[in-house]
Structure 1
Amino acid sequence: MKILLVNTWYYPNIEGGAEQSTKLLAENLVKAGNEVAVYCIDSETDEMTIEIINGVRIYRGNGGGYLKKIKNEGKFNKLWIKYKDIYNYKSNKEIMGVINDFNPEIVHTNCLNGISISIWKRIKSAKIPILHTLRDYALISPRGILEIKAERKGIYQIYLYLHKYICKKYSNIVDGVTAPSKFTVNIFTDNGYFKNAKCTRCVVNSIEYSNDELINNIKFQEKKQGEIINFLFVGRLLELKGLKKLVEEFKKIKDKNIRLIICGDGNLRKYILDSEVEDSRIIYKGKLTQAELKNIYMISDVLIVPSIWDEPFGRVVIEGNYYGMPVIASNRGGIPEIIDTLNGGISYNSEDNYELRNAIIKLSNRDLYSGFRQSIINNMYNYDISQQIENFISIYRKLLE
């Protein structure tokens, strides 16, 4: 099967979980015997470049200078960027060039920031089935989040209404839709999106899973001794990720034997650096490579995912469990579905600071970890990439019928 994946960024330009998921999907579709190409707009040159990485053919456009625009401040640039999420002439032209060159049987779109949802119309004009995977809430809100009613005021409320209206209309072009959590699928279908979709399914994100490696990771964790317990946060340093709340609650716990390791980058970086000076138990490691991050996972004891927004999935929860750690995670978005499936940690009410603090205190005791680890071993197969590949191929075939 010839499959074209579409995402704003692609490896080695990794911005977040969507890029990791797209890379994993592309490479494993190739391993399953398919011919796979990716169209993205993360090139800094005006001309499209073509390269092959791990068997995947990558077409890198620039979407009319999207990367340069998002790096610049100013209201005009922000308006330009939001307009390009809806319509981008350059991306429309580039995607048709890719289709003519690669001749895919199906197009699977993912994050379309800057590429624009208008490419769905161009793809459909070529009579090619479209599957879209929801990895954020960009079709519901230009801010990419689920809006709080109190924040919908004045001109922005009108803008939000127009945004939703246009996105709903375009979503009816799509033949099939998936999301990595039932929560995300239901949010869109309940709000009237993708009315013409022949297939609407939850297909969870996955990891390259080795049972032997998982058991070795857990054996390594079980050998740890000593009074020091390392709690870990991995992700973008943003208030929506609950990081500020986590740090404030951690500071309230007067236990000299706990540490909070923070990895990532974002607009709370200065706040974290100041907190590191204020409390010596807080350790900031910066933004790390995957190899560096693996080492941090292995020296840590408990992962904390304190999001205060509705995460469409929560890949980091699986990663923490895979490295043998129990996870403390908020009850937002698709995160509780992972906790329920793996039984590898504690879910708490994101609006209750005491619950977060109490969970940290509770898991400062190593004796409680063994039950979580056995559940992880028993249930991790649910997130094996081979199952995701089977699910997507069955959907592709259904849309091609």
Structure 2
Amino acid sequence: MKLIVLSAFYFPDEIGGAEISTRILCENLVSKGHEVTVITMGTTPDKSQGEMISGVKVLRLNSTYRSRYDAQNEKGNISKVIWHINCDTGNYVPDSFDLIVQKIQPDWAIVSQTSGFGALIIPRLKNLGTKVVVFNRDYYYLNLDVSNSSKRMFDLRYYVGLLLSLRRRLQLNKSNLAVANSVYLRDKLQDACLIKQKVHVLYTDNPTWKVMKRRFASKEKYELLFCSKLETTKGTEILLRLIKTLPSNFRFTILGNGMDYEEIDHALRVRNNGRILGWVSSEECESYFEKADIFLQLSVWGEPFSRTILEAFTKGVFVCATSVGGNVESLDGDRGFLFDHMKEEILIRFLSEIKDHISFCNEAIRRSYEYLETRRGSSGVGGLLKLIS
């Protein structure tokens, strides 16, 4: 089949798990003999004629999209509001987009996210008569309100979010197929009446990293790894409490960037118990997982699915995660330690007494390896091809 994949960002412009999952999906589709063209808002206008990356043809159509994203991420909430409005109403998708799609004549278009980019693209694809499947990896874009409910009436982002989410829901329902990457997200989308048609669950493909078998051991020092955007919704307040509270035999490695970078960096310097490295490449990220003993997934909102948990499983890293969203699904069956994000003292106590939990940690790691094996038969590519063939 001829397939086009629409993604706001694509390798090497990867800002999170959604982009990594999209790349793996594309490469797996190519490996099965399908012709895949990615259309993305890139950073290099000279690549608009296309480049080949691991068998995937990549067209980058706009050189300002990534810089605008980075700018709003650094400046705060007002910039985020402006960014989301621009995403949904902006003219950053050039007129040549329609001509490109008409020239390719794809059998299906896969929209990788229901962001503002997706809201603009879906109606244009439908006008061209192209069949559309939306691969939902998030519902944040359909409900931008992640603020404290008591502050909603004073939060401009809340009201803008309501308006934009209504528009995005309307566009999403124009798709031919809707897919979610977890049971939690499927239920979230359908129970909230965000999507009228049936939502199919297709799990994110396993990481391409080599599986590393190891056991959890009693040690003098433990390496903690946190890998995420550095903002409140990702659990940075919990992270700061851990940095300031845990004994000195715990050292932190923090990968990511965002509004809370400086505060976290300062806390680490005060206690001299870790380092913050900003964004790193996938290859570098893999090496840090291999060195870690414990991975922290601290999101405080219902994240549909955390790819980083799968990456931790792949490298035999014990996982501590908040009991929200898809984390519960990922760690179900004691594949790690779940805790209420409103009670981080439970996590602090567990980590402080980690040497009393060696057997539990090893059993969790064993089960995480088993989980990776069971997922191989229900990954995104195989299920997706069954739906669209």
Distance 1:95 1:381, change over 3 A: farther
Structure 1: runs of 5+ lacking an equivalent: none
Q: Distance in 2 between matches of 1:294 and 1:234?
A: 11
Q: C-alpha distance in 1, partners of 2:376/2:91?
A: 38
**Residues 292-347 of structure 1: CA distance to partner in whole angstroms, max 9, x if unpaired?**
22222222111111111221211111111111111000011111111116x42011
5 Å-filtered alignment, 1:168-317, equals 168-195=169-196, 197=197, 199-208=198-207, 213-214=210-211, 217-219=212-214, 221=215, 226-253=219-246, 255-317=247-309
Structure 2 match to 1:31 = 31
- Displacement, 1:384? 3.1
Equivalent AA in structure 1 for residue 133 of structure 2: L
- Structure 2 equivalent of residue 3 of structure 1: 3
Is residue 164 of structure 1 aligned with residue 159 of structure 2?
no
Structure 2: how far apart are the matches of 1:249 and 1:325?
A: 18
Distance 1:376 1:67, change over 3 A: closer
SS for the counterpart of 1:233 is: strand
Q: Within 1, Cα distance between the matches of 2:116 and 2:2?
A: 25
- Mapped contact 1:30–1:36 kept (Cα < 8 A): yes
Residue 111 of structure 1: aligned partner: 113
Matches for 1:40-189 after TM superposition, within 5 Å: 40-45=40-45, 48-62=48-62, 65-72=64-71, 81-91=83-93, 93-111=95-113, 113=115, 115-141=117-143, 143=144, 146=146, 148-153=148-153, 156=156, 158-189=159-190
CA distance in 1, matches of 2:360, 2:79: 51
- Structure 1 residue 209, shift from structure 2 partner: 5.5
1:327 aligns with 2:319: yes
- Alignment partner, residue 352 of structure 1: 343
Q: Check 1:233–1:140 CA distance in 2 against 1; reply closer, same or farther (3 A cut).
A: same
Q: CA–CA distance in 2 between the matches of 1:68 and 1:136?
A: 22
1: distance between equivalents of 2:273 and 2:125?
53
What is the distance in 2 between the residues matched to 1:333 and 1:94? 39
Does the Cα contact within 8 Å between 1:59 and 1:98 map onto a contact in 2? no
Distance 1:357 1:381, change over 3 A: same
Q: Is the 8 A contact 1:207 1:383 kept in 2?
A: yes
| More deviation, 178-187/255-264 | 255-264
CA contact (8 A) 2:318 2:336 kept: yes
Q: Relative to 1, partners in 2 of residues 1:390 and 1:295: Cα closer, same or farther, differing over 3 Å?
A: same
Q: Percent identity?
A: 20
Secondary structure of the residue aligned to 2:50 is: strand
* 1:206-257 Cα distance to aligned partner (Å, 9 max, x none): 22458xx43xx223x46x664212121112222221123223134323x332
Give the C-alpha shift of residue 92 in structure 1. Answer: 6.4
Q: After TM superposition, which residue ranges in structure 1, 4 or more long, deviate above 4 angstroms? A: 71-80, 145-148
SS across alignment from 2:45 = coil
**In 1, Cα distance between equivalents of 2:27 and 2:309:** 22
The answer as to 2:352 corresponding to 1:361 is yes
Structure 1 residue 155 displacement after superposition: 8.3
Separation of aligned partners in 2, 1:207 and 1:27 = 13
Residues 112, 135 of structure 2: 8 Å contact kept: yes
Query: Which one-letter code corresponds to 1:58 in the other structure?
Result: V
CA distance in 2, matches of 1:139, 1:259: 34
**Aligned-pair CA distance for 1:278:** 1.4
- Count of residues in Structure 1 that have an aligned counterpart in Structure 2: 384
Going from structure 1 to structure 2, the CA distance change for 1:105 and 1:273 (only over 3 Å counts) comes to same
Is the Cα contact below 8 Å between 1:30 and 1:56 reproduced in 2?
Answer: yes
Matching residue's letter, 2:231: L
Aligned-partner Cα distance in 2 for 1:227–1:317: 25
Superimposed CA distance per residue, residues 250-293 of structure 1 (whole angstroms, 9 cap, x where no aligned partner): 4323x332222222222222112211221122333443222222
Instruction: Report the TM-score, using the length of structure 1 for normalisation.
Output: 0.86
CA distance, structure 1, for counterparts of residue 101 and residue 332 of structure 2:
41
TM-score between the two structures when normalised by the length of structure 2:
0.89
The one-letter code sitting in structure 2 at the alignment partner of 1:392 is L
**Are residues 11 and 209 of structure 1, via their aligned partners in 2, closer, same or farther at CA, if it must alter by over 3 Å?**
closer
Which whole-Å CA distance do the structure 2 matches of 1:373 and 1:348 have between them?
A: 17
